[in-house]
Structure 1
């Protein structure tokens, strides 16, 4: 055997954060140390693999490129004079892997957030609350997805429901559907990739450059479009009960520009600014940056304008309610319109204002939990709320569906009766023979009647041509 055959293969260089266990870390650095003793052996601190280090030294490694971490900074770890990894204090050796100082790695936003979380016990409780709200989000978005798909099918399938109002509803549902689909895709991908039993190098949306930013851009586009179509809903409702802002027929070109074109421009501008000035992995923490107001500013404006629309609608309807009415039916319609306007309050984007508020992470776990679960429920189930009021609870939709099911039931009963009569006829030989006789008799009578009609018609034709009555009788 040649000497070249006995050489060990070249070791592949791995990043410290790509090694995921202490055994792998020790094996990777098995031949890394050839210095004097004592020394600190290679160790894994659950985040990165630290190489063997000289006693009495401080080692530094680049921060891992994770969300909320600045990879241009460094993490530090100290090796004591007797060759042991030091803890948080120099005389603390309670843990074999020691203590790693990652405080310089955190972005200012994340560092500020961790400081607000409070003690270690409060942090654990708040992280448990965050995991619970994520489960609630998955359930809420899934229910909203199903509701939106059913509502869109109803509005597109039944021609009777296709009018100006439902056309605006459909666009609002589609905008919500974009946001729901993208969010569910991201959340399900995170749940799969972050499983403990998944391989170390599994790639997902969050750790794939460009793809991750694209998904979050689509989320923001769908959310901004949803706000704009909520504004169009408020504008259309206001035009129905008061003086229209735009005279003449409805301009859907203008509505489409407001609902789809303007959000595209705003989202593109925000994505460009964020990509230039917020260069973190997957734009982590972008909602805390001032650039996010490129999107949040117009959204707040939509909420404020919709509140004004709603107040104006209520003012007009209450005025009509207090005025003289010719009959009680008109008064009942006005009361129903007032109630509908009050129900529209959460639909015109006002519930989203809760999600724009700063999370009370500095408060007690109880207060933080109440705020988190309430806002998560309102946000994730908003698609269900909109579908219930605009579609499922709508009187016109319910009448159309009842009429459709009555027709289906009547057709099913009619088909069952025909099939029952046919089956009984062929199962009974005597009935079958009787039916054959009656059918033959009916055919003969029909043929006889046809011949009489033909003869009578021929006689009239002959008389009409001037032929004598006697000849016609021949």
Structure 2
């Protein structure tokens, strides 16, 4: 026994009546999905109460709602009713469902089950679900590679005191935001998105994990903004950045995203229809965080333009024919640091477009490998870092060579000479046991 809307044709206007109708046994869903279906029922009742019936007399199939959330209108006998697929998980809302009204004015009943039946085959997003899983695996693989490179880079920055400065401090915090972002998304994908039971049961911890992911995403973009802010400031006000700028970056990079994520969690958490499936579905409320992200990228574009302008101005003062090449190289290096590569994909292709699959793969690679690109450019390919590592390696080889000499000789003699023409000082060592000429110590540092 369910409530259905029928049309009272004997009176003016339309009246809502209760009518005994046989309907399929409603499936048992987790509590969060019950909330979704209850919202669909309320929407359907409201729609039926507003829409007048085009059928004035005779037999017809009454308007109703089925256990899938489909809201069916009054339909003439012998015709098929068509509706948009309900907005539930695994359903494509751009497709349609069909239901037959038989000649005797009743909805079609499946003879095998003895229950009313509607055709929802076009609503199922089987291909889309498979593609989504493939994209998730691309995300996981890219994040793992980025994490390895970022952790090594961060270890290098922390290990060597020679790399401790305000610029490197900004880099370290940016790398940390990449690490936390990658780890949170890997946990979310592995523990929630790839586990159907978790998505259905929708526990609190997976909802919290979703909010944590959103927080670190915003934090990551805010630290990209801090990179642009710091570079622009030191270019405009050379040697006068001060500690206030660094403290401001900490507030922008870690505190401000916390405020946005908390606001997003409170508002979305209060809307029970948006909290199903571990908050996997997109929501307009995410613009609470996306808005500042878009604004930060826009400001970084202005920062980049100003930095390049100042750089070209300084290069023109140098007698170098490769000014354009240097400016271009500096610009290309700054693009991933400031996150401006995301502007290459501003609009998502329409569903079913030939570019849709390419777009999703490109976005998955771009987002997950962003940390790897930045660590490669600003650590592994950084001349300052490479020189420091080379110098440390030379010192290590020199110490090993010194240990070898002490273990094979009972007496080591060192002496220093000064070239009177060039005033260059050279230090040599020789042993009493080894029948070899004296060796200049600086040769060890050069890798000889």
Partner of 1:154: 156
1:363 correspondence with 2:365: no
For normalisation by structure 1, the TM-score amounts to: 0.61
Q: Matches of 1:61 and 1:101 in 2, distance apart?
A: 5
User: Are the aligned partners of 1:63 and 1:73 in contact in 2 as well (CA < 8 Å)?
Assistant: no
Q: Structure 1 residues 406, 278: CA separation in 2 closer, same or farther (over 3 Å shift)?
A: farther
1:348 correspondence with 2:343: no
- SS of the aligned residue for 1:351 comes to helix
- SS of the aligned residue for 1:149 comes to helix
- SS of the aligned residue for 1:287 comes to coil
Q: Structure 1 residues 297, 396: CA separation in 2 closer, same or farther (over 3 Å shift)?
A: same
Q: 1:58 aligns with which of 23, 32, 48?
A: 23
Q: Matches of 1:182 and 1:355 in 2, distance apart?
A: 24
Superposed CA deviations along residues 338-388 of structure 1, whole A, max 9, x for unmatched, are 412222113312233467744x35233x42211111111001101101111
User: Are the aligned partners of 2:30 and 2:200 in contact in 1 as well (CA < 8 Å)?
Assistant: no
1:115 correspondence with 2:105: no
RMSD between aligned alpha carbons? 3.6
Q: Structure 1 residues 420, 60: CA separation in 2 closer, same or farther (over 3 Å shift)?
A: farther
Looking at secondary structure, tell me which structure has more helix per residue.
1
Q: 1:380 aligns with which of 368, 382, 402?
A: 368
Q: Structure 1 residues 187, 285: CA separation in 2 closer, same or farther (over 3 Å shift)?
A: closer
Structure 2 residue runs without a partner (length 5+): 1-20, 42-65, 72-84, 98-120, 411-432, 434-448
1:294 correspondence with 2:288: yes
User: How much has 1:396 moved relative to structure 2?
Assistant: 0.3
Partner of 2:222: 228
Q: Structure 1 residues 147, 107: CA separation in 2 closer, same or farther (over 3 Å shift)?
A: farther
User: How much has 1:281 moved relative to structure 2?
Assistant: 2.3
Q: Matches of 2:402 and 2:176 in 1, distance apart?
A: 39
Query: What pairs up with 1:243-254 in 2 under 5 angstroms?
Result: 243=237, 250-254=244-248
User: How much has 1:285 moved relative to structure 2?
Assistant: 4.8
Partner of 2:11: none
Q: Matches of 1:189 and 1:266 in 2, distance apart?
A: 25
Partner of 2:176: 174
1:281 correspondence with 2:281: no
Superposed CA deviations along residues 40-72 of structure 1, whole A, max 9, x for unmatched, are xxxxxxxxxxxxxxxx94323156238877243
User: Are the aligned partners of 2:138 and 2:365 in contact in 1 as well (CA < 8 Å)?
Assistant: yes
- SS of the aligned residue for 1:153 comes to helix
Which sits farther off after the overlay, 344-353 or 167-176?
344-353
Partner of 1:23: none
Q: Matches of 1:409 and 1:172 in 2, distance apart?
A: 33
User: How much has 1:312 moved relative to structure 2?
Assistant: 1.3
User: How much has 1:310 moved relative to structure 2?
Assistant: 0.6
Q: 1:317 aligns with which of 308, 311, 328?
A: 311
Q: Matches of 1:388 and 1:108 in 2, distance apart?
A: 43
- SS of the aligned residue for 1:387 comes to helix
Partner of 1:40: none
- SS of the aligned residue for 2:153 comes to helix
Q: Matches of 2:301 and 2:195 in 1, distance apart?
A: 42
Which sits farther off after the overlay, 64-73 or 234-243?
64-73
User: How much has 1:288 moved relative to structure 2?
Assistant: 2.5
Partner of 1:430: none
For normalisation by structure 2, the TM-score amounts to: 0.64
Which sits farther off after the overlay, 348-357 or 396-405?
348-357
Structure 1 residue runs without a partner (length 5+): 1-55, 76-99, 195-202, 423-434, 436-474
Partner of 2:108: none
Q: Structure 1 residues 217, 284: CA separation in 2 closer, same or farther (over 3 Å shift)?
A: closer
User: Are the aligned partners of 2:228 and 2:304 in contact in 1 as well (CA < 8 Å)?
Assistant: yes
How many residues were matched structurally?
Answer: 329
Partner of 2:235: 241
Q: 2:258 aligns with which of 259, 264, 274?
A: 264
Q: Matches of 2:346 and 2:130 in 1, distance apart?
A: 22
